[in-house]
A and B are shown apart, each in its own frame.
Chain A
Amino acid sequence: MPPSETPSAETPQGGAGQPQIVFDQVVKRFGDLTVLDHLDFSVEPGERVTLIGPSGSGKTTILRLLMTLEKVTEGRIDVAGEPFSHMRRGNHLVPASESYLRRRRRSIGMVFQQFNLFPNMTVRKNVIEAPVHVLGLSKGEANERAEELLDLVGLGDKIDAHPTQLSGGQQQRVAIARALAMRPDILLLDEVTSALDPELVAGVLDVLRQVAETTDITMLCVTHEMAFARDVSHRVLMFDKGQIAEEGPPEQIFEDPREDRTKSFLRSVLDNGF
């Protein structure tokens, strides 16, 4: 796709508002392995950020920290101007409790590499259960929302199918609809096309392009699809060894990378058939 079609012209930068996500000296260790090493970065509301880098560089961990699937080892994360990994107690911060996390992660949705649809539910149930039980929507409202979203992802006719009857690409599009049904402010996309057969990738990416163009959801996207990253993101962060090696608008990162690590990473991705 030619760069002229990129939505990056309307980059929501320099606005008066505060950043939506702030990582402040975040460290994440698994045993002796340091995955994130005193990481600082922030994301503006409505911004679409792509995280690239070699595997093991900590990209996915960032999404998992935001989804509260992991806890920070050191440092802190703020979301929407409020502590997220921590909570206030008196005038200091303590690690967030489960109930605090449950309240705060309401604004965040995630799509996984392996889709993770619930095999014990139809497509419809997959999409409506959380809105009904968590958001308190009526069955009717939830169904309406589900039908709308499944139409958006091109699967309106599969609403009563079973996940096992769908292809990987279709399952992933249902997973996107399921995440969007919760009306998140922030959408985390964790290598959402990596588990798909090559011919199914485009359908999923088209849906995500559409979401990017028609909503102002903040998107954090870990991907190896460089064309997609270039099309939809306002900013690309290149990770290496748990730190940001380089960041910038997609045109600069892909056409004029300054860091050797970025250059060699992009070269290796190109060699793998990009």
Chain B
Amino acid sequence: MQFLIERFPLYLDGAWVTVQITLGGSALAFVLAMAFGILGTIKHWLPRAVATVYVEVFRGIAAMVLIFWMAYVLPDLTGYRLDRTFAAILAVGLNVGAYGAEVVRAAINAVPKTQVEATVALNLSWFQRMRLVVLPQAWAQMLPTFGNLVIELMKATAVVYLIGVVDLTAIARQVRDATGETVIAYMGALLIYFLIAQVLIFGMRLLERRANRKLGRTPPGGTGLGALLRHPVVPGAGGGVSG
């Protein structure tokens, strides 16, 4: 314990880098997921094709391979060198964004057709329909899966030490190499990853609760704050609220 406490500032530096890449990557993934997910729901073939290409390309490439591309191949090809941390954000964002786009597309398609018909009857434009009716309802559907993706993304950042970014995993390695204490060095990383994950999960459940409340549903698992710590019981499937 003493061992870890002495090196706590070191671990904290690494954790901060991990958090930065996680948040940056999540923000990028979110924007990409929304953009390509919405494109994927448009009737015209062209936007749909664009969405499919993005999803299939970046879903198919391992995050680690993407990271190497961003860090080593791209500079070779273009002569332009990206900041390593930024390259890492780009790689995990592009990768997770592809999964997210599928989540967004599915959630939008799951909004009942009758809701869309009501927007036609009120003569809303496509843009108004999306903004006022479809996305707010799809949002509650997306969140549980987004929560999983954020955790996945956070864990995927552990490979960025391979391109020389000093994240939490890199620190654990350094500590191990310097002291030979493998178990304790990695125990420190494990604990901090776990803590970060718990904070992310808590945040996502807050968002979920808010989204469900806006749809007039009781949050799954009860209303107390304590409910946020429990694993939710089957999150409100489908949009069957209007019946």
Interface residues of chain A, those whose CB is within 8 Å of chain B, are 67-69, 102, 105-106, 108-110, 112, 114-121, 129-130, 133-134, 162-165, 178-179, 182, 195
Contacts and interface: CB of A to CB of B under 8 A. Distances in A.
B9 interface: no
Given A133-B124, A134-B124, A164-B241, A112 B117 contact: yes
A116 B216 contact: no
Nearest to A131: B122
Interface string B207-233: 000000011110000000000000000
A120 B242 CA distance: 10
A130 B123 contact: yes
Contacts of A108: 121
Nearest to A129: B132
A68 B123 CA distance: 10
A119 B215 contact: yes
B144 interface: no
A118 B118 contact: yes
Contacts of A109: 121-122
Contacts of A120: 133, 136-137, 214-215
Given A129-B132, A134-B128, A165-B216, A117 B122 contact: no
Indicate the member of B120, B121, B124 with the most A CB atoms within 10 Å: B121
B216 A119 contact: yes
A163 B216 contact: yes
B242 A114 contact: yes
Contacts of A110: 121
B114 A114 contact: yes
A102 B217 CA distance: 33
A130 B123 CA distance: 8
B128 A133 contact: yes
Interface in B116-171: 117-118, 120-125, 128, 132-133, 136-137
Contacts of B114: 112, 114, 116
Contacts of B124: 129-130, 133-134
B28 to A, nearest CB: 27
B243 interface: yes
B138 to A, nearest CB: 10
A68 B121 CA distance: 8
B239 interface: yes
Contact of A119 (B123, B132, B241): B241
10 contacts: A110-B121, A115-B242, A116-B115, A119-B239, A121-B132, A134-B123, A134-B128, A164-B215, A164-B217, A182-B122
